[in-house]
Amino acid sequence: MSSSVSSPVLSSVPGQDDAMAFLMQAVARPHHAYLLAGPEGGGKQLAARAFAAALLCDRGGCGECRACTLALEEHHPNLFVVEPEGRDIHVETVREEIWHYAYRTAPEPGRKVFVLREADRLNPAAADALLKVLEEPPADSVFLLLSARPHELPETVVSRCHVVSFRPLSEDFIVSALTEAGVSPERAALAARLSGGNLGRARRLVTEEEGLAFRDQAVEALELARLGPAGALSAAELVVHGAERYRKGLSHVLDAELAPYLDEKGRPEEAYRAAIRRLQDRHKRRERRAERDYVDRVLLAASALLRDRVAATVGGGPDVAINLDLRPPDVPVSGAVAAVGAIEEARAALAEDLNLNVRLVLEQAFLRVQG
Ligand SMILES: [Zn+2]
């Protein structure tokens, strides 16, 4: 189509050709709201950042200019990102971070782009507040809602959006995407399997220093837990401490990320002031969530190790193993089955209730490893 532009940032999103072709065509004359719908790890976030860059760049997403660079890092003053705090996106968040900016002049000349991650977590009041904005959309704004559970969004909100579908990515696709990026085939295969079809997570596993540390800690915790009740308590202690360390480390990383935008007195430079303040708020929220996120990743890794243990005894070969490079943990099978259940219960409980005592929940889960 003639309105379609060449957009290097959009072309660089892998594995979602139909969705990206649609967005590429939308850059020239965007609709006011899009719902990017599809499973976790299919590249919705990558696509949202790329689309935001394309909308904020004078050349439709060249991938090289200041606007593109800032948008891809989510530091562009005209890019507003909202994500759940705890389990929900609250109405105050929608008011303060969407409504407030939607009807004001953009910080920099040009469009404003609002990204709502995990949009299905809008609670009813927040969804209502968003709906009012979508019903009278400011002319210079584009809203991108992301969701792996679009059926949980109110129909009234969905009907205001153009739905762009993202498909699940196959393990083979993830392996080839990683090997093309220079990762060794063995490491790529392991990351693809461990991430359960989630490209973003697979990429983090191979690139981040912390990548496999979650699994190392899960291995250690299971070794302790099988020693008996005292070991189970030590296992919980180990994970609680790991989570605390992780939060502190994350806070350093986030500070370092902001450093280039601060002057010598540690104040945001004028041009970035509002954007940096929003980013600092988001960082605070991420730090608050960090310990829960960490615990969840360790539990997920422990659950995968225990599943491998069960699969190995029922004659499952390497095809069904998740941890391709490790022998399953030395836990009795009856214990492994019970523990997988207990660990999944613990994950669900921690996701549901932010006031639970993490240590207690972990102790209860690890006590069930011995069988
Ligand atoms: Zn550009």
Per-residue pLDDT of 58-69, as tens digits, reads 999 999 999 999
End-to-end, the C-alpha distance of the chain in Å comes to 63
Q: Compute, in angstroms, the gap from residue 63 CA to the centroid of ligand 1.
A: 5
- Measured in degrees and rounded to the nearest 5, phi and psi for residue 6 equal -80, 130
Q: Compute, in angstroms, the gap from residue 69 CA to the centroid of ligand 1.
A: 7
Q: Compute, in angstroms, the gap from residue 193 CA to the centroid of ligand 1.
A: 35
Q: Compute, in angstroms, the gap from residue 50 CA to the centroid of ligand 1.
A: 10
Q: Which of 112, 130, 142, 164 is nearest to 31 (CA)?
A: 142
Q: Compute, in angstroms, the gap from residue 53 CA to the centroid of ligand 1.
A: 7
Cβ neighbors of 248 (< 8 A, separation 6 or more) are none
- The neighbour count for residue 118, using CB atoms within 10 Å, is 19
Note down pLDDT in tens along the chain; length 371 residues: 434 457 999 999 989 999 999 999 999 999 999 999 999 889 999 999 999 999 999 999 999 999 999 999 998 999 999 998 777 899 999 999 999 999 999 989 999 999 999 999 999 999 999 999 999 999 899 999 999 999 999 999 999 999 999 998 988 999 999 999 899 999 999 898 888 778 888 988 888 777 788 899 999 999 999 999 999 999 999 999 999 999 998 888 888 888 888 888 888 877 778 778 888 888 888 887 888 889 998 999 999 999 998 888 777 666 678 888 888 888 888 888 888 999 999 999 998 887 899 999 999 999 988 75
Q: Give the tens place of pLDDT for each residue, 197-222.
A: 788 889 888 887 777 888 999 999 99
Q: Compute, in angstroms, the gap from residue 283 CA to the centroid of ligand 1.
A: 26
Q: Compute, in angstroms, the gap from residue 71 CA to the centroid of ligand 1.
A: 9
Strand pairing partners for 122? 89
Q: Compute, in angstroms, the gap from residue 157 CA to the centroid of ligand 1.
A: 31
Question: 99: which DSSP letter?
Answer: I
Q: Compute, in angstroms, the gap from residue 79 CA to the centroid of ligand 1.
A: 14
Dihedral, CA of residue 88, residue 148, residue 193 and residue 283, to nearest 10:
-40
Q: How many whole angstroms separate alpha carbon 32 and alpha carbon 46?
A: 19
Q: Compute, in angstroms, the gap from residue 250 CA to the centroid of ligand 1.
A: 29
Question: 153: which DSSP letter?
Answer: S
- The encoded tokens of residue 151 equal 């059926």
Q: Which helix (H) or strand (E) holds 222?
A: helix 213-225
Angle between helices 171-180 and 185-194 (to 10 degrees): 140
Q: Which helix (H) or strand (E) holds 115?
A: strand 112-116
Q: Compute, in angstroms, the gap from residue 65 CA to the centroid of ligand 1.
A: 4
- The encoded tokens of residue 209 equal 């220093």
Q: Compute, in angstroms, the gap from residue 24 CA to the centroid of ligand 1.
A: 14
Q: Compute, in angstroms, the gap from residue 91 CA to the centroid of ligand 1.
A: 33
Question: 170: which DSSP letter?
Answer: P
Q: Compute, in angstroms, the gap from residue 7 CA to the centroid of ligand 1.
A: 9
Q: Compute, in angstroms, the gap from residue 111 CA to the centroid of ligand 1.
A: 14
The whole model's pTM is what? 0.80
Q: Which helix (H) or strand (E) holds 34?
A: strand 33-37
Structural domains for the chain: 8-168 (3.40.50.300), 208-366 (no CATH)
DSSP per residue over 253-275, as a string? HHHHHHGGGB-TTSPBPGGGHHH
Q: Compute, in angstroms, the gap from residue 55 CA to the centroid of ligand 1.
A: 9
Q: Compute, in angstroms, the gap from residue 143 CA to the centroid of ligand 1.
A: 20
Q: Compute, in angstroms, the gap from residue 164 CA to the centroid of ligand 1.
A: 23
Q: Compute, in angstroms, the gap from residue 103 CA to the centroid of ligand 1.
A: 25
Q: Compute, in angstroms, the gap from residue 59 CA to the centroid of ligand 1.
A: 6
